[in-house]
A and B are shown apart, each in its own frame.
Chain A
Amino acid sequence: MKNTIKNIIKPYQDEKGSLIPILQAVQEKTGFISEDAVSAIALELKMSEHEIYGVATFYTQFRYTKPGDHMVKVCLGTACHVRGGEQLLDRTETILNIKPGQTTPDSAFSLERVACMGCCALAPVIVVDNKIYPNVTVPKVEKIISKKE
Chain B
Amino acid sequence: MDFAEIRKKAIAGWKDLVSSKTPVIYLGAATCGRAAGIEAVAEEIRKISKELSLNIRLVEVGCIGPCYLEPLIYIQKNGYPSVCYGKITPRKIKKLLEDYLINNDPRPDLALGTLGDGQINGIPGLFEHPMLKYQTRLVLRNCGIIDPEQIDHYIARYGYLGIKKALGMSPSEVIDEVKTSGIRGRGGAGFPTWKKWEICHNVQSDDKYLICNADEGDPGAFMNRSLLEGDPHAVLEGLLIGAYAIGANHGYIYIRAEYPLAIKRLEHAISQMKSYNLLGNNILGSDFSFDIKIKKGAGAFVCGEETALIASVMGKRGMPMPRPPFPAISGVWGKPTIINNVETLGTLATIIRRGGEWFAGFGSKFSKGTKTFSLVGKVKRTGLIEIPLGTPLKTIIFDIGGGTSGDKKFKAVQTGGPSGGCIPAELISLPVDYESLMSAYSIMGSGGMIVLDEDTCVVDIASYFLSFIQAESCGKCSPCRIGTKVMLDILEKIKSGKGEMADIDKLISLAKTIKKASLCGLGQTAPNSVLSTLRYFRSEYEAHIIDKSCPALVCKDLIKYTISKEKCAGCGICREKCPAGAITGKKKKAHIINESLCVKCGICYQVCPAKYGAVEKKTGFLT
Interface residues of A (CB under 8 A from B): 16-21, 23-24, 54-55, 58-62, 76-84, 87, 90-91, 94-95, 114-123, 125, 130, 132-134, 137-139
Contact = CB atoms under 8 A, between A and B. Distances in A.
- Pick the 8 closest A-B CB pairs, nearest first: A121-B67, A78-B220, A17-B315, A59-B298, A77-B219, A132-B35, A60-B299, A118-B222
User: Which of B35, B216, B300 gathers most chain A CB within 10 Å?
Assistant: B35
Given A78-B450, A121-B382, A122-B36, A87 B601 contact: yes
B88 to A, nearest CB: 14
Interface stretch (B116-124, B423-431, B602-610): B602-610
Contact of B300 (A59, A77, A83, A90): A59
A19 B32 CA distance: 32
B390 interface: no
A116 B417 CA distance: 12
A17 to B, nearest CB: 3
Interface in B444-491: 448, 450, 452, 456, 461, 464-465, 468, 472, 474
A119 B603 contact: no
A141 to B, nearest CB: 9
Contact of B452 (A82, A116, A130): A82
Interface string B247-266: 00000000011111000000
B474 A139 contact: no
Contact of A120 (B222, B295, B468): B222
Contacts of A58: 300, 317-319, 474
A83 B318 contact: no
A18 B315 contact: yes
Contacts of A120: 220-222, 374, 376, 382, 448, 450
14 contacts: A20-B295, A59-B298, A60-B298, A78-B414, A81-B461, A82-B452, A90-B599, A94-B579, A114-B258, A115-B468, A119-B35, A119-B222, A120-B222, A122-B67
A79 to B, nearest CB: 4
B374 A16 contact: no
A15 B376 CA distance: 41
A17 B36 contact: no
B335 to A, nearest CB: 12
Contacts of B67: 121-122
Contact of A121 (B299, B384, B472): B384
Contacts of B312: 20
Contacts of A132: 31, 34-35
B497 interface: no
A11 to B, nearest CB: 12
B182 interface: no
Contacts of B575: none
Given A17-B316, A78-B219, A122-B32, A139 B577 contact: yes
A117 to B, nearest CB: 6
Contact of A116 (B220, B295, B465): B220
Contact of B378 (A18, A82, A130, A133): A82
A10 B460 CA distance: 48
Nearest to B34: A132
B243 interface: no
B8 to A, nearest CB: 37
A138 B615 CA distance: 15
Contacts of B383: 121
B606 A139 contact: yes
Given A81-B464, A120-B382, A115 B377 contact: no
A66 B317 CA distance: 23
B217 interface: yes
Interface in B99-148: none
Contacts of B291: none
B601 A90 contact: yes
Contacts of A80: 219
B158 interface: no
A21 to B, nearest CB: 7
Interface centre among A16, A21, A81, A95 (most CB of B within 10 A): A81
A122 B70 contact: yes
A89 to B, nearest CB: 11
A23 B298 contact: yes
Given A60-B300, A120-B376, 11 more contacts: A58-B317, A77-B220, A79-B376, A82-B450, A83-B377, A121-B67, A121-B375, A121-B383, A123-B376, A125-B35, A132-B31
A59 B376 contact: no
Interface-central residue, A60, A95, A120, A125, by most chain B CB under 10 Å:
A120
A138 B295 contact: no
A130 B34 CA distance: 11
A60 B256 CA distance: 12
Contact of B318 (A17, A59, A81, A121): A59
Given A119-B32, A121-B376, A123-B376, A138 B259 contact: no
Interface string B206-224: 0000000000111111100
Nearest to B384: A121
Given A16-B314, A91-B579, A122 B377 contact: no
B85 interface: no
A118 B450 CA distance: 13
Contacts of B384: 121
Interface in B369-418: 374-378, 382-384, 414, 417
Interface in B169-216: 216
B612 interface: no
Nearest to A138: B603
Contacts of B315: 16-20, 55
A5 to B, nearest CB: 16
A87 B559 CA distance: 14
Contacts of B461: 81-82
B68 interface: yes
Nearest to A121: B67
Nearest to A81: B464
Contacts of A81: 219, 461, 464
A54 B318 CA distance: 11
Contacts of B219: 76-81, 115-116
Given A17-B313, A78-B464, A116 B318 contact: no
A115 B452 CA distance: 19
A78 B418 CA distance: 9
Contacts of B472: 115
